[in-house]
Structure 1
Amino acid sequence: MKSMEVKVIQSAKELETLSPFKVDNKLWGTKTAPVTYGYLGFIPDSGFCLKMVCEETDPLRKYTEINAPVYRDSAMEAFFQFESERERNIQPTYLNFEVNANGALLAAYGKERIYRTYFTREEHEEFACSAQIEKDRWSAALYIPLSVLEHIYGPLCLEAGSTFTCNFYKISEAAEIEHYASWSMIETDVPSFHLPEYFGNAVIAGSSPV
Protein backbone atom coordinates (compact mmCIF):
# COMPACT_ATOMS: atom_id res chain seq x y z
CA MET A 1 0.00 0.00 0.00
CA LYS A 2 1.26 3.48 -0.89
CA SER A 3 2.23 5.88 1.90
CA MET A 4 3.11 9.55 2.25
CA GLU A 5 4.29 12.04 4.83
CA VAL A 6 2.13 15.14 5.19
CA LYS A 7 4.27 18.01 6.41
CA VAL A 8 3.12 20.67 8.83
CA ILE A 9 3.03 24.08 7.15
CA GLN A 10 2.02 27.58 8.19
CA SER A 11 0.19 28.58 5.00
CA ALA A 12 -0.69 27.35 1.53
CA LYS A 13 2.19 29.44 0.16
CA GLU A 14 4.56 26.71 1.43
CA LEU A 15 2.90 23.85 -0.48
CA GLU A 16 5.26 23.80 -3.44
CA THR A 17 8.30 23.54 -1.14
CA LEU A 18 7.07 20.04 -0.27
CA SER A 19 7.82 16.80 -2.11
CA PRO A 20 5.03 16.12 -4.62
CA PHE A 21 2.97 12.96 -4.78
CA LYS A 22 2.50 11.49 -8.28
CA VAL A 23 -0.77 10.26 -9.75
CA ASP A 24 0.91 7.77 -12.07
CA ASN A 25 -0.87 4.42 -11.80
CA LYS A 26 -2.79 4.01 -15.08
CA LEU A 27 -5.99 2.03 -14.56
CA TRP A 28 -8.57 -0.01 -16.46
CA GLY A 29 -6.92 -0.09 -19.85
CA THR A 30 -5.71 3.51 -19.82
CA LYS A 31 -2.75 3.81 -22.20
CA THR A 32 -1.99 7.49 -21.75
CA ALA A 33 -2.98 10.01 -19.10
CA PRO A 34 -1.71 13.54 -18.52
CA VAL A 35 1.16 13.87 -16.04
CA THR A 36 -0.50 14.71 -12.72
CA TYR A 37 0.98 15.43 -9.30
CA GLY A 38 0.14 17.32 -6.15
CA TYR A 39 1.12 18.73 -2.78
CA LEU A 40 -0.64 18.19 0.55
CA GLY A 41 0.19 20.04 3.78
CA PHE A 42 -1.39 20.39 7.22
CA ILE A 43 -1.86 23.61 9.19
CA PRO A 44 -2.22 22.67 12.90
CA ASP A 45 -5.60 23.48 14.45
CA SER A 46 -6.76 24.74 11.05
CA GLY A 47 -6.93 22.21 8.22
CA PHE A 48 -5.37 20.69 5.11
CA CYS A 49 -4.11 22.57 2.07
CA LEU A 50 -4.04 20.74 -1.26
CA LYS A 51 -2.76 21.72 -4.69
CA MET A 52 -2.89 19.41 -7.71
CA VAL A 53 -1.27 20.05 -11.08
CA CYS A 54 -2.00 18.46 -14.46
CA GLU A 55 0.24 18.89 -17.52
CA GLU A 56 -2.64 19.08 -19.96
CA THR A 57 -3.26 21.67 -22.67
CA ASP A 58 -6.79 23.06 -23.09
CA PRO A 59 -8.48 20.67 -20.61
CA LEU A 60 -12.11 19.75 -21.21
CA ARG A 61 -14.13 22.04 -18.93
CA LYS A 62 -17.86 22.29 -19.57
CA TYR A 63 -19.22 22.40 -16.02
CA THR A 64 -19.23 25.56 -13.91
CA GLU A 65 -21.59 24.87 -10.99
CA ILE A 66 -20.81 23.28 -7.61
CA ASN A 67 -21.46 19.53 -7.31
CA ALA A 68 -21.70 19.15 -11.09
CA PRO A 69 -20.43 15.85 -12.62
CA VAL A 70 -16.96 17.24 -13.37
CA TYR A 71 -15.58 13.71 -13.88
CA ARG A 72 -17.23 13.94 -17.32
CA ASP A 73 -14.82 16.79 -18.04
CA SER A 74 -11.12 16.51 -17.32
CA ALA A 75 -10.88 16.37 -13.54
CA MET A 76 -8.48 15.84 -10.64
CA GLU A 77 -9.78 14.27 -7.45
CA ALA A 78 -8.81 13.76 -3.81
CA PHE A 79 -10.47 11.29 -1.43
CA PHE A 80 -9.86 11.19 2.35
CA GLN A 81 -10.87 8.97 5.26
CA PHE A 82 -10.28 9.75 8.94
CA GLU A 83 -10.81 7.70 12.11
CA SER A 84 -12.79 9.01 15.05
CA GLU A 85 -14.41 7.81 18.26
CA ARG A 86 -17.81 8.56 16.75
CA GLU A 87 -17.28 5.96 14.01
CA ARG A 88 -15.28 3.39 15.92
CA ASN A 89 -16.46 -0.17 15.11
CA ILE A 90 -18.71 0.97 12.23
CA GLN A 91 -18.06 1.47 8.53
CA PRO A 92 -16.18 4.77 8.35
CA THR A 93 -17.09 7.80 6.28
CA TYR A 94 -14.87 9.07 3.48
CA LEU A 95 -14.85 12.37 1.60
CA ASN A 96 -14.45 13.03 -2.14
CA PHE A 97 -13.34 16.29 -3.75
CA GLU A 98 -13.43 16.47 -7.56
CA VAL A 99 -12.56 19.58 -9.58
CA ASN A 100 -12.23 20.64 -13.20
CA ALA A 101 -10.23 23.46 -14.78
CA ASN A 102 -13.11 25.91 -14.25
CA GLY A 103 -12.70 25.41 -10.50
CA ALA A 104 -16.11 23.71 -10.33
CA LEU A 105 -15.96 21.47 -7.27
CA LEU A 106 -17.98 18.34 -6.60
CA ALA A 107 -17.64 17.55 -2.89
CA ALA A 108 -19.48 14.95 -0.83
CA TYR A 109 -19.16 12.44 1.99
CA GLY A 110 -20.64 9.12 2.98
CA LYS A 111 -19.86 5.48 3.69
CA GLU A 112 -20.17 4.14 0.14
CA ARG A 113 -20.43 5.23 -3.48
CA ILE A 114 -24.20 5.71 -3.43
CA TYR A 115 -26.32 7.76 -1.00
CA ARG A 116 -23.62 10.40 -0.54
CA THR A 117 -24.24 13.75 1.15
CA TYR A 118 -23.20 16.77 -0.88
CA PHE A 119 -21.59 19.71 0.85
CA THR A 120 -23.61 22.92 0.91
CA ARG A 121 -22.81 26.14 -0.93
CA GLU A 122 -21.70 27.66 2.38
CA GLU A 123 -19.28 24.77 2.98
CA HIS A 124 -17.97 25.16 -0.57
CA GLU A 125 -17.05 28.73 0.29
CA GLU A 126 -14.91 27.39 3.15
CA PHE A 127 -13.13 25.04 0.74
CA ALA A 128 -12.01 28.13 -1.26
CA CYS A 129 -11.52 26.00 -4.36
CA SER A 130 -9.78 27.70 -7.27
CA ALA A 131 -8.25 26.65 -10.59
CA GLN A 132 -5.68 28.19 -12.87
CA ILE A 133 -5.06 27.43 -16.54
CA GLU A 134 -1.58 28.03 -17.95
CA LYS A 135 -0.09 27.42 -21.39
CA ASP A 136 0.84 23.77 -20.85
CA ARG A 137 -0.89 22.83 -17.60
CA TRP A 138 -3.68 23.57 -15.17
CA SER A 139 -3.88 23.41 -11.42
CA ALA A 140 -6.47 23.35 -8.66
CA ALA A 141 -6.14 24.44 -5.03
CA LEU A 142 -8.36 23.52 -2.10
CA TYR A 143 -8.55 24.07 1.66
CA ILE A 144 -10.22 21.47 3.91
CA PRO A 145 -10.92 23.02 7.33
CA LEU A 146 -10.91 20.94 10.49
CA SER A 147 -14.27 22.47 11.39
CA VAL A 148 -15.87 20.74 8.40
CA LEU A 149 -14.13 17.44 9.15
CA GLU A 150 -15.21 17.52 12.80
CA HIS A 151 -18.80 18.26 11.80
CA ILE A 152 -18.70 14.85 10.06
CA TYR A 153 -16.41 12.84 12.34
CA GLY A 154 -16.67 14.53 15.72
CA PRO A 155 -13.45 15.59 17.52
CA LEU A 156 -10.26 14.69 15.66
CA CYS A 157 -6.85 14.80 17.32
CA LEU A 158 -4.63 15.62 14.34
CA GLU A 159 -1.00 16.31 15.15
CA ALA A 160 2.48 15.01 14.33
CA GLY A 161 2.22 11.21 14.16
CA SER A 162 -1.52 11.16 13.38
CA THR A 163 -2.57 8.96 10.47
CA PHE A 164 -5.39 8.86 7.94
CA THR A 165 -5.92 7.32 4.50
CA CYS A 166 -6.36 8.96 1.11
CA ASN A 167 -6.09 8.60 -2.64
CA PHE A 168 -5.70 11.01 -5.54
CA TYR A 169 -6.92 10.62 -9.09
CA LYS A 170 -6.92 11.92 -12.65
CA ILE A 171 -10.03 11.15 -14.68
CA SER A 172 -12.11 11.87 -17.70
CA GLU A 173 -15.17 9.84 -18.64
CA ALA A 174 -15.48 11.73 -21.94
CA ALA A 175 -15.17 9.10 -24.69
CA GLU A 176 -12.69 11.09 -26.78
CA ILE A 177 -10.16 11.43 -23.95
CA GLU A 178 -11.26 8.76 -21.45
CA HIS A 179 -8.55 7.95 -18.90
CA TYR A 180 -8.10 6.91 -15.27
CA ALA A 181 -5.04 7.21 -13.02
CA SER A 182 -4.42 7.03 -9.28
CA TRP A 183 -1.75 7.71 -6.66
CA SER A 184 -2.38 4.48 -4.72
CA MET A 185 -2.99 1.48 -6.99
CA ILE A 186 -6.52 0.09 -7.39
CA GLU A 187 -6.74 -3.59 -8.30
CA THR A 188 -10.26 -4.14 -9.58
CA ASP A 189 -11.76 -4.99 -12.96
CA VAL A 190 -14.61 -2.47 -12.75
CA PRO A 191 -13.70 1.24 -12.75
CA SER A 192 -14.42 2.93 -9.43
CA PHE A 193 -12.48 5.40 -7.30
CA HIS A 194 -14.88 4.90 -4.37
CA LEU A 195 -12.83 2.10 -2.82
CA PRO A 196 -11.38 3.10 0.57
CA GLU A 197 -9.74 -0.32 0.87
CA TYR A 198 -7.26 0.87 -1.76
CA PHE A 199 -6.53 4.25 -0.17
CA GLY A 200 -2.90 4.79 0.79
CA ASN A 201 -1.61 5.66 4.25
CA ALA A 202 -0.72 9.23 5.27
CA VAL A 203 1.04 10.40 8.42
CA ILE A 204 1.38 13.95 9.66
CA ALA A 205 5.14 14.32 9.96
CA GLY A 206 6.27 17.57 11.49
CA SER A 207 7.30 20.80 9.83
CA SER A 208 8.40 21.34 6.25
CA PRO A 209 11.98 22.39 5.50
CA VAL A 210 12.72 26.11 5.91
Structure 2
Amino acid sequence: MIVEVIGSKKELEDVEPFYVEQLLWGTQSIPKTYGYLGFVPKEGFYLKMVCEEKEPLRTYENVLDPVYRDSAMEAFFQFETERGGRGSAVYLNFEVNANGALLAAYGSGRTYRTFFTKEELEAFDCNAAVEEERWNFQLHIPLKILEEIYGPLNLGRGSRFSCNFYKISEAKEIEHYASCFPIHSEIPSFHMPEYFGEAVIAETI
Protein backbone atom coordinates (compact mmCIF):
# COMPACT_ATOMS: atom_id res chain seq x y z
CA MET A 1 0.00 0.00 0.00
CA ILE A 2 1.39 3.38 -1.02
CA VAL A 3 0.61 6.31 1.29
CA GLU A 4 0.89 9.54 -0.62
CA VAL A 5 2.48 12.70 0.75
CA ILE A 6 0.00 15.57 0.80
CA GLY A 7 0.32 19.23 1.64
CA SER A 8 -2.74 19.42 3.90
CA LYS A 9 -5.96 17.69 4.91
CA LYS A 10 -7.70 19.40 1.97
CA GLU A 11 -5.80 17.15 -0.46
CA LEU A 12 -6.77 13.88 1.25
CA GLU A 13 -9.42 12.78 -1.24
CA ASP A 14 -7.00 13.32 -4.14
CA VAL A 15 -5.04 10.21 -3.12
CA GLU A 16 -5.72 6.70 -4.39
CA PRO A 17 -8.36 5.03 -2.19
CA PHE A 18 -7.97 1.70 -0.42
CA TYR A 19 -10.84 -0.79 -0.19
CA VAL A 20 -12.16 -3.02 2.59
CA GLU A 21 -13.20 -6.10 0.61
CA GLN A 22 -11.84 -9.17 2.41
CA LEU A 23 -14.94 -10.87 3.87
CA LEU A 24 -14.21 -12.74 7.08
CA TRP A 25 -15.67 -15.41 9.37
CA GLY A 26 -18.79 -16.27 7.42
CA THR A 27 -19.63 -12.74 6.28
CA GLN A 28 -21.48 -12.90 2.96
CA SER A 29 -21.49 -9.21 2.05
CA ILE A 30 -20.90 -5.73 3.42
CA PRO A 31 -21.77 -2.25 2.18
CA LYS A 32 -19.04 -0.85 -0.07
CA THR A 33 -16.31 0.48 2.24
CA TYR A 34 -13.20 2.41 1.27
CA GLY A 35 -10.88 5.09 2.56
CA TYR A 36 -8.11 7.60 2.00
CA LEU A 37 -4.85 7.88 3.94
CA GLY A 38 -2.36 10.69 3.43
CA PHE A 39 0.80 11.85 5.20
CA VAL A 40 1.81 15.44 5.89
CA PRO A 41 5.55 15.58 6.72
CA LYS A 42 6.37 16.63 10.30
CA GLU A 43 2.63 16.74 11.05
CA GLY A 44 1.17 13.25 10.78
CA PHE A 45 -1.50 11.23 9.02
CA TYR A 46 -4.98 12.13 7.86
CA LEU A 47 -7.56 9.39 7.37
CA LYS A 48 -11.06 9.33 5.91
CA MET A 49 -13.17 6.19 5.66
CA VAL A 50 -16.46 5.93 3.78
CA CYS A 51 -19.22 3.31 3.94
CA GLU A 52 -22.08 3.26 1.44
CA GLU A 53 -24.58 2.18 4.07
CA LYS A 54 -28.05 3.60 4.59
CA GLU A 55 -29.18 4.28 8.16
CA PRO A 56 -26.14 2.75 9.93
CA LEU A 57 -26.68 1.41 13.42
CA ARG A 58 -25.36 4.12 15.76
CA THR A 59 -26.41 3.85 19.38
CA TYR A 60 -23.15 4.83 21.10
CA GLU A 61 -22.30 8.51 21.43
CA ASN A 62 -19.27 8.88 23.71
CA VAL A 63 -15.53 8.43 23.34
CA LEU A 64 -14.29 4.98 24.36
CA ASP A 65 -17.76 3.45 23.93
CA PRO A 66 -17.82 -0.09 22.38
CA VAL A 67 -18.70 1.20 18.91
CA TYR A 68 -17.93 -2.19 17.31
CA ARG A 69 -21.36 -3.24 18.60
CA ASP A 70 -22.86 -0.66 16.24
CA SER A 71 -21.92 -0.39 12.58
CA ALA A 72 -18.30 0.78 12.69
CA MET A 73 -15.19 1.30 10.59
CA GLU A 74 -11.75 0.83 12.09
CA ALA A 75 -8.10 1.54 11.38
CA PHE A 76 -5.14 -0.16 13.09
CA PHE A 77 -1.50 0.99 12.76
CA GLN A 78 1.87 -0.33 13.87
CA PHE A 79 5.20 1.50 13.57
CA GLU A 80 8.78 0.36 14.03
CA THR A 81 10.83 2.14 16.63
CA GLU A 82 14.42 3.12 15.89
CA ARG A 83 15.45 0.95 18.78
CA GLY A 84 13.37 -2.01 17.66
CA GLY A 85 12.56 -4.56 20.32
CA ARG A 86 9.58 -4.48 22.62
CA GLY A 87 8.25 -1.08 21.61
CA SER A 88 7.78 -2.22 18.04
CA ALA A 89 5.09 -4.69 19.15
CA VAL A 90 2.77 -1.81 20.07
CA TYR A 91 -0.08 -1.03 17.69
CA LEU A 92 -2.87 1.54 17.72
CA ASN A 93 -6.59 1.02 17.11
CA PHE A 94 -9.11 3.65 16.02
CA GLU A 95 -12.75 2.51 15.90
CA VAL A 96 -15.56 4.89 14.92
CA ASN A 97 -19.32 4.70 14.41
CA ALA A 98 -21.58 7.05 12.47
CA ASN A 99 -22.05 9.28 15.52
CA GLY A 100 -18.32 9.99 15.49
CA ALA A 101 -17.82 8.15 18.79
CA LEU A 102 -14.15 7.14 18.91
CA LEU A 103 -12.71 4.10 20.65
CA ALA A 104 -8.93 4.44 20.53
CA ALA A 105 -6.09 2.77 22.42
CA TYR A 106 -2.63 1.26 22.04
CA GLY A 107 -0.75 -1.75 23.31
CA SER A 108 0.88 -4.99 22.22
CA GLY A 109 -2.19 -7.23 22.48
CA ARG A 110 -5.98 -7.30 22.52
CA THR A 111 -6.11 -7.07 26.32
CA TYR A 112 -4.47 -4.60 28.71
CA ARG A 113 -4.57 -1.78 26.21
CA THR A 114 -3.82 1.82 27.16
CA PHE A 115 -6.50 4.38 26.38
CA PHE A 116 -5.52 7.79 25.10
CA THR A 117 -5.92 10.83 27.32
CA LYS A 118 -8.69 13.36 26.87
CA GLU A 119 -6.24 15.78 25.27
CA GLU A 120 -4.97 13.13 22.86
CA LEU A 121 -8.51 12.10 21.91
CA GLU A 122 -9.28 15.73 21.15
CA ALA A 123 -6.12 16.00 19.04
CA PHE A 124 -7.38 13.18 16.80
CA ASP A 125 -10.18 15.59 15.80
CA CYS A 126 -12.51 12.71 14.95
CA ASN A 127 -15.80 13.59 13.30
CA ALA A 128 -18.43 11.73 11.30
CA ALA A 129 -21.07 12.69 8.77
CA VAL A 130 -24.18 10.78 7.70
CA GLU A 131 -25.70 11.29 4.27
CA GLU A 132 -28.70 9.60 2.67
CA GLU A 133 -26.70 6.86 0.99
CA ARG A 134 -23.47 6.73 2.99
CA TRP A 135 -21.57 7.80 6.07
CA ASN A 136 -17.96 8.62 6.78
CA PHE A 137 -15.52 9.59 9.46
CA GLN A 138 -12.29 11.58 9.40
CA LEU A 139 -9.46 11.82 11.89
CA HIS A 140 -5.94 13.16 12.28
CA ILE A 141 -3.11 11.09 13.77
CA PRO A 142 -0.47 13.59 14.93
CA LEU A 143 3.16 12.60 14.63
CA LYS A 144 3.68 14.03 18.12
CA ILE A 145 1.37 11.43 19.66
CA LEU A 146 2.99 8.59 17.71
CA GLU A 147 6.43 9.63 18.94
CA GLU A 148 5.20 9.82 22.54
CA ILE A 149 4.42 6.11 22.17
CA TYR A 150 7.29 4.91 19.99
CA GLY A 151 10.02 7.50 20.44
CA PRO A 152 11.58 9.18 17.37
CA LEU A 153 10.21 7.69 14.15
CA ASN A 154 11.73 9.98 11.50
CA LEU A 155 8.81 9.27 9.17
CA GLY A 156 9.28 10.55 5.66
CA ARG A 157 9.41 9.45 2.06
CA GLY A 158 10.22 5.75 1.83
CA SER A 159 9.33 5.03 5.47
CA ARG A 160 7.46 1.80 6.10
CA PHE A 161 4.85 0.81 8.65
CA SER A 162 1.99 -1.67 8.83
CA CYS A 163 -1.76 -1.23 9.05
CA ASN A 164 -5.16 -2.72 8.39
CA PHE A 165 -8.65 -1.29 7.96
CA TYR A 166 -11.94 -2.89 8.88
CA LYS A 167 -15.73 -2.86 8.65
CA ILE A 168 -17.54 -4.47 11.56
CA SER A 169 -20.73 -4.93 13.47
CA GLU A 170 -21.16 -7.35 16.35
CA ALA A 171 -24.92 -6.67 16.45
CA LYS A 172 -26.52 -10.05 15.72
CA GLU A 173 -29.07 -8.69 13.23
CA ILE A 174 -26.36 -7.23 10.98
CA GLU A 175 -23.21 -9.02 12.16
CA HIS A 176 -20.35 -8.75 9.67
CA TYR A 177 -16.56 -8.54 9.47
CA ALA A 178 -14.27 -7.43 6.65
CA SER A 179 -10.71 -6.16 6.24
CA CYS A 180 -8.48 -4.43 3.74
CA PHE A 181 -5.65 -6.97 4.07
CA PRO A 182 -6.66 -10.63 4.55
CA ILE A 183 -6.67 -12.28 7.98
CA HIS A 184 -5.92 -16.01 7.90
CA SER A 185 -7.33 -16.98 11.26
CA GLU A 186 -10.35 -18.98 12.33
CA ILE A 187 -10.61 -16.85 15.47
CA PRO A 188 -12.60 -13.64 14.84
CA SER A 189 -10.28 -10.83 15.90
CA PHE A 190 -8.90 -7.72 14.28
CA HIS A 191 -6.19 -7.53 16.95
CA MET A 192 -3.74 -9.57 14.88
CA PRO A 193 -0.84 -7.36 13.78
CA GLU A 194 0.77 -10.37 12.10
CA TYR A 195 -1.87 -9.86 9.38
CA PHE A 196 -1.41 -6.13 8.96
CA GLY A 197 -0.33 -5.12 5.47
CA GLU A 198 2.79 -3.13 4.64
CA ALA A 199 2.42 0.58 3.88
CA VAL A 200 5.11 2.77 2.34
CA ILE A 201 5.14 6.56 2.31
CA ALA A 202 5.51 7.56 -1.34
CA GLU A 203 8.97 8.54 -2.55
CA THR A 204 7.54 11.19 -4.88
CA ILE A 205 4.41 13.34 -4.95
TM-score between both structures, scaled by the size of structure 1: 0.95
User: Shift of residue 207 of structure 1?
Assistant: 5.0
- Show CA shifts across 1:27-79 (max 9, x none): 00000111100000000000000000000000000001101000000000000
Query: Could you tell me which amino acid in structure 2 is paired with residue 130 of structure 1?
Result: N
Q: Does 1:145 align with 2:168?
A: no
Q: Tell me which stretches of 4 or more aligned residues in structure 1 moved more than 6 Å.
A: none
Whole-angstrom distance in 1 between the partners of 2:3 and 2:59: 33
Show the counterpart of 1:167: 164
- Distance (whole Å) between structure 2 residues aligned to residue 6 and residue 207 of structure 1: 10
- Determine if the alignment matches structure 1 residue 157 to structure 2 residue 154: yes
Match of residue 15, structure 1, among 1, 6, 12? 12
**Do the aligned partners of residues 207 and 102 (structure 1) sit closer, same or farther apart at CA in structure 2, a change above 3 Å counting?**
farther
Residues 65-94 of structure 1: CA distance to partner in whole angstroms, max 9, x if unpaired?
Answer: 1010000000000000000134x1226100
How do 1:53-64 and structure 2 match up within 5 A? Answer: 53-64=50-61
Q: Which residue of 2 aligns with 1:89?
A: 85
Which residue in the other structure is 1:121 paired with? 118
Output the TM-score relative to the length of structure 2: 0.98
Letter in 2 for 1:78: A
Q: Any idea what SS the aligned residue of 2:54 has?
A: coil
In 2, distance between residues paired with 1:186 and 1:141? 25
Q: Which residue of 2 aligns with 1:100?
A: 97
The answer to whether the aligner puts 1:78 opposite 2:75 as a matched pair is yes
Alpha-carbon distance in 1 for matches of 2:102, 2:66: 9
CA-based RMSD of the aligned residues comes to 0.9
Identity among equivalent pairs (%): 65
